[in-house]
Structure 1
Amino acid sequence: MQDNKQQPSALLASKRFLPLFITQFFSALNDNVYKQAVLLLLIFQAANVADGAFYSNLAAGLFILPFFLFSGMAGQIAEKMEKSRLIRIIKLCEIPIMVVGAASILTQYVWLMLTTVFLMGLQSTFFGPLKYSILPQHVAANELTKANGLVESGTFVAILIGTIFGTYYITQSQGPIFISVAVLALAVIGYISSRFIPISEANDANLRFTFNIISSTKSVFTVLNAQTESVGKSVLGISWFWLIGAIILTTLPNYVKHVMGGDELVVTSALVVFSLSIACGSLLCEKLSRSRIELGIVPFGALLITVFLYLLSQQPAITFYTPLNEHLFTLEQVLATGDMLWHFVWMAGIGIAAGFYTVPLYALIQQRSDESSRSRVIAANNVLNALFMVCSAILSIVTLSIFEWRIAQLLLLLAGLNLLTAVYIYTKVPEFFLRFIIYILAICMYRVRTKGEYNIPTRGAAVVVANHVSFVDWMFILAASPRPIRFMVFAPIYYSPALHWLFKMAKAIPIDSEKANPKAFQQAFDEVAAALARGELVGIFPEGKLSADGSVAVFRRGIERIIQRTPVPVIPVHLGGLWGSMFSRKAKWRLPRFKWSLVSVTVGAPVAAADVVADDLREQVLALKALHSKHHD
């Protein structure tokens, strides 16, 4: 349980978030209504199958092309100007674009439709960096996961509704008129809602803007490379998801027809299952994250995606369908065939896991990117997303058309590649896997309650000091922190064969006693000073050893030595509920009970460097213990 926790409905109803949510929802809805209607019109108008495939692929390419060409400029503009005004301008431009789009649908003039698709892609290119970079300016840090979950779920619901609406109405006798009115109305609604988005000041008003496509694109990747490795690998992870998602969505009709033996309604049902499951996964992610950015869920989501892709690839094809027998099963018949239901179950599993996987990554990018370059980082993310979607098309063509693989074989390949990609990312950024271990430990063995975690600064150097009750204290403090913390660990424990890999992954700092190894003792303090100079968080247990009786022992003067050398704030923390656990000196070696043990992590207000005294810090930790006891009672 966290302080100031708000329900999703409260955030969704707030003036700081609702207008942006509505604007994004109707933007995605409008895009997909028009794109789906145009794709069907292009296919219907084509003289043959080859022409239909050419026009549909050309339309998809024209929509993605602006992301390659203009994302650099979009990121620079989003950084340089006030964001709500930019959004209003972009949404206002959507109205004349949709006027052209309506005319193209009514006249069914091919090149006018393709021109509109390109202009829609251009508009989305400039809107993308704004909609994500504006969120941290209007929602609290502990609401980022919630906000991203709502945006992602709303987007996929809009994609679903837009696709179904565009598919259904364009095939009706008065369909072109309905679609034309709809896209104009949706554009107007989106513009009206954008006028209520709160003002968001420019991140870098002095940023130099360039119209050069190459240099502007290069600049956003230069900015991306300057971010922490966790941000860079999060961008890579999101782009990889879009590759998987694009392949699944493009192969879904053929999968349903040739593997499930289903008709058009079954295709629509599969799309509904996949889209709604992503929306559900995005919302469920916030619950599992306990309203914070929980990176431990990302490896969990990646693992589930691999498992469900594998299971989907192993589902047997329907035995009643052959190319010579064009009978396709209706939705009712498919549902009556018990084995076919598993196809929908695995699709839903992939979608839910995708929500677990993407939402924390988007939130991490927003939180950890430098404020002055956040929009450009998201612009670089958009370029990579587009590149990976193009790669998805190439991969599909090579495997399905050239090598003549079955779709199940392609899904199996994706499962393997997803596992390899996850291993690569988590090897490069061990924090993800470390958080995963901590998350599993917390949910399997303990019930964790955090209080005051907002006192841990989201940026800048600080030292975290806490009482030392068990061997896993550092894990629970790390779980409560929005940022990585480098803990000082007694060298014999750090280098122990069973735990060395874990402490190395956590980038812990080994320290030995001054008498036994004065050189290692000094190196530890040098490394702490270097870490603080880089703006990192460092965690220490000033008691110097595990508690023998559960009480808080005297704090040693090492903390004063650290602060005298590098004056930074100190954050007092009290841990409760771990005394008597299997990891403490009063160990009760037993399996976890169904009634999970309650662990409390209470974080106090920062203490200025000038006021740091070891004895006073101990008193503050004791005061946090009393505060927790009173609150718990």
Structure 2
Amino acid sequence: MTTSTHILRRRRFLPLFVTQLFNAFNDNLYKTAMVLFVVYSVYNSEAEEALFSAIASGVFILPFFVLSALAGQLADMRDKARIIRIVKACEIGIMIVGAAGLLIAWQDAQCATGSAGACLFRPPVSIAEMAIPLLLLALFAMGVHSTFIGPIKYAILPQHLHSDEVLAGTGLVEAGTYLAILFGTILAGWIPVEIAAGLVIAIAILGFITSQFVPPAPPQGDVNELDFPLLDPLRRSGRGPAFTALAFLPVLIADQFVSMFKLVRSTADDRRVFLAIMAISFFWTIGAVLFIQFPPLAKNVLTASKEVASLFLVIFSVGVAIGSVSVNALLKGTVSARYSPASVIVMALFVLAFYLVCRAWTPAPGDMLMDVGQFMGQPLAITLLLCLLGIAIAGGMFVVPLYAFLTTFVPKTQTARTIAANNIVNSGAMVGGALLAMGLSAVDVAIVDQLLLSAAMCLISSWLGKKLYDAEKAALAT
């Protein structure tokens, strides 16, 4: 019996594993179902659709940027299993709000198009206008929910697993999360949105039930209090509880930015690690822009259905996985940025090829949207999908070795802090990518032309990869 099979049969791992599967699946099912439905059924303008896709991405990522430092502190201070149960209980309420937004938007769209039998009631204008804010509110709350789950799913493993099981447990969590993301993304493109609304609530309930079986994981060693460098002096100032309560939220937010700055600045001690974080973050800026572009691009440029848009997201994810495995084979297990500069140049060439194919694409007549079968029957379909797969494979080959720097070239006592700093900078970069996409859509830059910006940004990533490889060679020479 392998170690992996062994721990999957044990309560000290299985409930956490299944809870995390439900978490990743529900995040992506809700987010993808919401974006695809709004793009395809609510708006009828390329600029509005691209703007919404960008806003949705930014809203979901923002909590990771602002609250990761606080989430990490809480994970070290409190029983991790208890935090999981509290967060999973909150998810049920969050998904009820999100499902309500989906159902209101769905009913409004059905009644507006006169769909026979589907228009059960026509929401009043005041109710219908609440749909988009409810959807985005639930998406933001799911971002907060995942921010607090994130540090725990790995930090809890050494407490529940034996030392020779931790690596296998980490690998299973990674593989399970990836498959859950993939399945949630696929399903969101193929099931009706009203079914998705009920399913996200059901999955949230199942996740809460499985979380009840996660064994206790109390804090280890000395437990420090939450670090509030700005709020603590305010509390001690003697200005009264009312003033402190009034100032709590803005000062708490400012505190998180101070903590983030200190954490990120500490990574600059090793130039290779700092350059790796910068290169990874710039890569995910490009990735955020591409993910934002896919749904409106599929609808307006390629005149393809939401199932095809979902297929794009799946191919991108699979391609990154293929690139990850390929570069590991090329490097033969050695941690090096040797292939990173060339990989991202190849990525830029595939983005450019993708742009040219989109430009040459013949749209469907009238308002018709092609399903997967019709889309695959187009002369340029295979070429388009191969370009997309090439983008993802080259991207995976670029970014995976850089992640290895974060755990290889820092002391073991600083690994968690380095990963947290990387997560903060990555999240900030993706929010920046979403804002950039919003700005381009606001000034009426066509969605297909935005691909050229993604190709140009790859050149900066290549420069950062070259700087990292130079620093790597310099370190080896000393």
Q: Distance between the aligned counterparts of 2:295 and 2:459, measured in 1?
A: 23
Equivalences for 1:369-388 in 2 at 5 Å? 376-388=417-429
Q: Distance between the aligned counterparts of 1:139 and 1:288, measured in 2?
A: 32
Equivalences for 1:182-331 in 2 at 5 Å? 182-194=199-211, 195-196=213-214, 199=217, 201-202=219-220, 205-210=223-228, 212-227=252-267, 228-229=269-270, 230-256=272-298, 262-282=304-324, 294-296=334-336, 298-300=337-339, 303-315=342-354, 316-317=356-357, 319=360, 321=362, 331=372
Equivalences for 1:418-457 in 2 at 5 Å? 418-428=461-471, 430=472, 434=473
* Contact 2:158–2:166 under 8 Å retained in 1: yes
The letter of the residue matching 1:350 is: I
Q: 1:278 to 1:56 in 2, by over 3 A?
A: closer
Q: Distance between the aligned counterparts of 2:318 and 2:276, measured in 1?
A: 24
- 2:83 equivalent to 1:86: yes
Question: 1:213 Cα deviation (Å)?
Answer: 2.3
How big is the alpha-carbon RMSD for the aligned residues of Structure 1 and Structure 2? Answer: 4.1
Q: 1:267 to 1:50 in 2, by over 3 A?
A: closer
Paired residue for 2:434?
Answer: 393
Q: 1:352 to 1:406 in 2, by over 3 A?
A: same
Please, which moves more after superposition, 181-190 or 132-141?
A: 132-141
Question: 1:120 Cα deviation (Å)?
Answer: 1.2
- The CA deviation string for residues 558-615 of structure 1, in whole angstroms up to 9 with x for no partner, is xxxxxxxxxxxxxxxxxxxxxxxxxxxxxxxxxxxxxxxxxxxxxxxxxxxxxxxxxx
Match of 1:127 among 126, 136, 149: 149
Paired residue for 1:26?
Answer: 22
Q: Secondary structure of 2:339's partner?
A: helix
Question: 1:416 Cα deviation (Å)?
Answer: 1.6
TM-score, structure 1 length as denominator? 0.56
Q: Secondary structure of 1:199's partner?
A: coil
Question: 1:310 Cα deviation (Å)?
Answer: 0.9
Structure 1, unmatched stretches of 5+, are: 1-5, 435-503, 509-633
Higher relative contact order (CA 8 A, sep 6+): 2
The letter of the residue matching 1:206 is: N
Q: 1:390 to 1:207 in 2, by over 3 A?
A: same
Q: Distance between the aligned counterparts of 2:351 and 2:76, measured in 1?
A: 42
Question: 1:225 Cα deviation (Å)?
Answer: 2.9
* Contact 2:62–2:428 under 8 Å retained in 1: no
Question: 1:506 Cα deviation (Å)?
Answer: 0.7
Q: 1:20 to 1:395 in 2, by over 3 A?
A: same
Question: 1:419 Cα deviation (Å)?
Answer: 0.9
Q: Distance between the aligned counterparts of 2:202 and 2:177, measured in 1?
A: 18
Paired residue for 1:37?
Answer: 33
Question: 1:33 Cα deviation (Å)?
Answer: 2.0
* Contact 1:30–1:183 under 8 Å retained in 2: yes
Paired residue for 1:505?
Answer: 475
- The CA deviation string for residues 410-456 of structure 1, in whole angstroms up to 9 with x for no partner, is 3421332221121233334x1xxx5xxxxxxxxxxxxxxxxxxxxxx
The letter of the residue matching 1:251 is: Q
The letter of the residue matching 1:417 is: I
Q: 1:369 to 1:41 in 2, by over 3 A?
A: same
Equivalences for 1:484-633 in 2 at 5 Å? 504-508=474-478
Q: Distance between the aligned counterparts of 1:235 and 1:116, measured in 2?
A: 30
Q: Secondary structure of 1:226's partner?
A: helix
Q: Distance between the aligned counterparts of 1:247 and 1:284, measured in 2?
A: 24
TM-score, structure 2 length as denominator? 0.71
Question: 1:115 Cα deviation (Å)?
Answer: 2.5
Structure with bigger helix share is: 2
Q: 1:412 to 1:88 in 2, by over 3 A?
A: same
Equivalences for 1:130-149 in 2 at 5 Å? 130-134=152-156
Q: Distance between the aligned counterparts of 2:8 and 2:344, measured in 1?
A: 28
* Contact 1:279–1:352 under 8 Å retained in 2: yes
Structure with bigger strand share is: 1
The letter of the residue matching 2:60 is: F
Q: 1:336 to 1:150 in 2, by over 3 A?
A: farther
Q: Distance between the aligned counterparts of 1:47 and 1:332, measured in 2?
A: 24
Paired residue for 2:61?
Answer: 64
